[in-house]
A = this chain, B = another copy of it.
Amino acid sequence: MTAASHRPIIGLIGFGAFGRLMARHLRAHCDLLAHDSATELAAEEGVTFTDLATAAACRIVVLAVPVDRFETVIAALRPHLRRGAVVVDVGSVKLVPARAMLAGLPPDVEIVGTHPLFGPQSARDGIAGLKLALCPIRGRAAFRIGAFLRHALRLRVVLTTPEAHDRDMAVAQGLTHLIAAVLVRMEPLPSRMTTRSFDLLMQAVGMVRHDPPGVFDAIERANPYAAGVRAQFLELTAEMGRALEHPV
């Protein structure tokens, strides 16, 4: 065995903004075989572009595709998976992908849900110390992967279930992205005469406003708890607005 053969090979299905971000942090530790259905892909150091069959035949396969393409992609890669492979997803919601993977992947394939709680904006200064939610779905591979993410990438790994994840994210992401989308529609907003708290709010907006539309849709539509949280936020905001119409 040569030294090179110790480097794990990861198949990466989907090479959008998040796929690229991942590649930058994983290439020091693994060889990356990436596949994306987009016809034009910018070259990325340490990444070899390949066909779906080759990427899907790796020991570890990471799915970085929009949530609404999940079922189609799973059906397409299924015939190419090797026995005992580990399939990992990185989507912003965890219940829908977990169900799709449990239903669509062969029973001998291990399944791990992850949600890196950061994006290209928040990872600009590196990812050490950033959080990642980790959901073991089938098999024990999640614990090995969690140890790697903790020690090699220095992420803060939060072990959770798809349900608990989606409940918390309906608030943490659902509300932040909703508020950000509304504030962007209210532009131009003050930039010179601002308070510290408004500056922080606008920093939060700046962090999510350039996310691809698929991310917003996953967060607001594919999270089964998001609609309820939005309704509660809207009701409380309206109630407060009504209360403020009357004198003290």
A residues with a Cβ closer than 8 A to B are 68, 117-118, 122, 130-131, 133, 158, 160, 164-165, 168-169, 171-173, 175-176, 178-183, 185-186, 189-190, 192-198, 200-201, 203-205, 207-208, 217, 220-221, 226-227, 230-234, 236-238, 240-241, 244-245, 247-248
Contacts and interface: CB of A to CB of B under 8 A. Distances in A.
Given A133-B193, A168-B190, A198-B176, A230 B207 contact: no
B230 A241 contact: yes
A122 B192 contact: no
Contact of A171 (B186, B232, B248): B186
Given A198-B172, A198-B173, A221-B248, A193 B160 contact: yes
A60 to B, nearest CB: 24
A117 B195 contact: yes
Contacts of A220: 244
Copies of the protein in its oligomer: 2
A169 to B, nearest CB: 7
Interface of A is mostly: helix
A93 to B, nearest CB: 13
A231 B240 contact: no
Nearest to A68: B248
A95 to B, nearest CB: 14
14 contacts: A117-B196, A118-B196, A160-B193, A169-B190, A173-B198, A176-B197, A176-B198, A176-B201, A179-B179, A186-B236, A200-B207, A220-B244, A230-B244, A231-B241
Contact of A193 (B169, B189, B197, B240): B169
A196 B233 contact: no
Given A193-B168, A193-B172, A240-B178, A201 B204 contact: yes
